[in-house]
């Protein structure tokens, strides 16, 4: 494992951080045995930074990490968690959330405490008006938090304003080869690093979109490269190649993924990719940009939808149709959103247009407009009526079954 310094904090952290938002689940609960094995596998291989948040797995992510790390591991790792700014309405609320997080994590300190999901300078100003400056000062003085930072989902000008307005230790931004000029982007990355902040990268694989079913043209470009790498290796190496990047986060929930990422991290020195290798990534980026319709990363902040729309699923399948140019995606869409599988309809035409999703979308996507595109492209004319019949039919069958039981 390679390590880099977290800005001016003095901490040496693994260049591969463990994202704790996508643990394996069984029946809606974290698969405790398997996830603990995976965490220990990562720690034994040199990973020392674990990123969670108040809301991940509905609060169970922090609690699960607390259980695992309390078994003699706590001093081997750095814990990063986040204050949910979108839930905070008072200074007292900040205190209550922090105390809850310390209890969940079974620790007396949080190594990196981030303000979660700042979207613009106004969101930072709101927190200042609620007393965040005094809260952070007191929490640091009392040793409850060691370093401060923020995660960001907005444009680079607002990013710079927030960077300049407080003595941050680090920040967390979305960055990958498709998002070089998106949100904070390369310019924001370099700006923060020049100010002495550590920079943690989230979404290096764009929510898995860069390593799933690869479009034929992208596959062709990768296969023609002189150096044989998997799409994940190419994507991670591209991020790590930037010396301003302290680490990247990967939401690893497969043992093979952990092993592969750790092996890749062991070779990822800054500025180690050749011009020829960078040119390969540029060609892939161009191919994706020609195919991708909607910039959804699948983060699921938009859920639950009041109308029951599975927004990431709808947008993801819509993107797949354009990426892979196959008619099967329309059938796939029907099977997954009609209620035929799972019993609950979740298709795009259920959208009521309330706009709740757009207020919390980190990518600031016009989701309502995109859902209308999904309806026009993916849904059969009578799909809404058909799914209603399916739902009623399944409900009726369940009633009959309960009576028989």
Pairwise CA distance, residues 398 & 301, whole Å = 31
Residue that wins the pLDDT comparison between 242 and 405: 242
- The 3-state secondary structure of 271-307 reads CCCCHHHHHHHHHHHHHHHHHCCCCCCCCCCCCCCCC
Give the pair of three-digit tokens for residue 321: 């149709």
Average pLDDT of the segment spanning 292-309:
87
User: Can you list the domains of the chain with their CATH numbers?
Assistant: 3-273 (3.20.20.100), 311-404 (no CATH)
Average pLDDT of the segment spanning 217-234:
95
Q: Calculate helix-pair angle for 91-105, 132-141, nearest 10 degrees.
A: 40
Q: Residue for token digits 């062991």?
A: 266
Pairwise CA distance, residues 334 & 341, whole Å = 9
Q: Where are the alpha helices (DSSP H) in 77-215?
A: 91-105, 121-129, 132-141, 156-164, 185-194
Q: Residue for token digits 């044989």?
A: 228
Give the pair of three-digit tokens for residue 85: 């700014």
Asked if residue 330 has pLDDT above 70, the reply is yes
Per the DSSP assignment, residues forming a β-bridge with 147 are 112
pLDDT of residue 324: 66
Its pTM stands at 0.78
Q: Calculate helix-pair angle for 311-324, 367-378, nearest 10 degrees.
A: 60
Asked if residue 385 has pLDDT above 80, the reply is no
Q: Among candidates 283, 305, 277, which has minimal Cα distance to 361?
A: 305
Asked if residue 357 has pLDDT above 80, the reply is yes
Buried b / exposed e across 200-222, counting CB within 10 Å, b at 16+? bbbbbbbbebbbeebbebbeebb
pLDDT of residue 156: 87
pLDDT of residue 298: 78
Give the pair of three-digit tokens for residue 155: 């444009």
Residue-averaged pLDDT of the chain: 91
Average pLDDT of the segment spanning 289-294:
83
Asked if residue 403 has pLDDT above 70, the reply is no
Average pLDDT of the segment spanning 5-32:
95
pLDDT of residue 292: 78
What pLDDT, in 10s, does the model give residues 347-356?
999 999 999 9
Confidence at 401, pLDDT banded by 50, 70, 90: very low
Q: In a 10 Å sphere around its CB, with 0-12 CB exposed, 13-18 middle and 19+ buried, how is residue 26 labelled?
A: exposed
Residue that wins the pLDDT comparison between 333 and 260: 260
Pairwise CA distance, residues 175 & 183, whole Å = 9
What pLDDT, in 10s, does the model give residues 140-195?
999 999 999 999 987 888 999 999 999 999 999 999 998 888 789 999 999 999 99
Of these ranges, 18-22, 297-301, 325-329, the one predicted with the greatest mean pLDDT is 18-22
User: What is the SS3 assignment for 315?
Assistant: helix
Distance of CA 242 to the CA centre of its chain: 20
Per the DSSP assignment, residues forming a β-bridge with 115 are 83, 150
Asked if residue 382 has pLDDT above 80, the reply is no
Q: Among candidates 338, 328, 337, which has minimal Cα distance to 310?
A: 337
What pLDDT, in 10s, does the model give residues 90-148?
999 999 999 999 999 999 999 999 999 898 898 999 999 999 999 999 999 999 999 99
CA 221, 226, 227, 231: dihedral to nearest 10 degrees? Answer: 0
Q: Calculate helix-pair angle for 121-129, 132-141, nearest 10 degrees.
A: 70
């Amino acid at each position: 494992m390679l390590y880099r310094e977290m800005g001016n904090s003095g901490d040496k952290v693994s260049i591969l951080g463990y994202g704790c938002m996508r643990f394996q689940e069984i029946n809606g609960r974290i698969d405790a045995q398997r996830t603990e094995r995976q965490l220990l596998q990562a720690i034994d291989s040199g990973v020392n930074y674990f990123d969670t948040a108040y809301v991940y797995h509905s609060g169970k992510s922090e609690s699960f990490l607390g259980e695992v790390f309390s078994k003699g591991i706590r001093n081997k790792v750095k814990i990063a968690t986040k204050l949910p700014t979108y839930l905070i309405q008072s200074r007292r609320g900040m205190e209550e959330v922090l105390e809850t997080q310390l209890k969940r994590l079974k620790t007396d300190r949080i190594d990196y405490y981030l303000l979660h999901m700042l979207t613009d300078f106004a969101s930072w100003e709101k927190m200042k008006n609620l007393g965040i400056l005094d809260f952070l000062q007191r929490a640091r003085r009392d040793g409850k938090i060691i370093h401060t930072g923020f995660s960001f989902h907005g444009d680079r000008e607002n990013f710079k304003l927030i960077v300049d307005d407080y003595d941050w230790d680090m920040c967390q931004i979305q960055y990958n080869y498709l998002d070089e000029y998106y949100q904070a982007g390369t310019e924001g990355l370099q700006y923060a690093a020049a100010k002495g902040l550590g920079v943690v990268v989230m979404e290096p694989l764009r929510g898995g979109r860069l390593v799933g079913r690869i479009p034929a043209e992208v596959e062709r470009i990768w296969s023609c490269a002189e150096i044989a790498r998997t799409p994940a290796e190419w994507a991670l190496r591209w991020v790590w190649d930037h010396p301003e990047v302290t680490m990247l986060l990967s939401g690893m929930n497969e043992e093979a993924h952990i092993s592969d990422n750790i092996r890749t991290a062991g070779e990822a020195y800054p500025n180690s990719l050749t011009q020829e290798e960078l040119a390969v990534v540029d060609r892939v980026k161009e191919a994706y940009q020609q195919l991708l319709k909607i910039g959804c990363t699948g983060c699921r902040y938009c859920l639950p939808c009041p109308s029951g729309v599975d927004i990431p699923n709808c947008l993801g399948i819509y993107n797949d149709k354009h990426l892979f140019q196959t008619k099967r995606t329309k059938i796939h869409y029907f099977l997954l959103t009609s209620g035929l599988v799972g019993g609950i309809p979740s298709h795009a035409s259920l959208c009521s247009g309330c706009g709740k999703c757009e207020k919390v979308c980190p990518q600031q996507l016009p989701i309502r407009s995109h859902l209308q595109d999904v309806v026009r492209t993916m849904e059969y004319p009578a799909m809404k009526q058909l799914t209603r019949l399916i739902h009623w039919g399944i409900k009726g069958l369940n009633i009959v079954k309960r009576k028989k039981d």
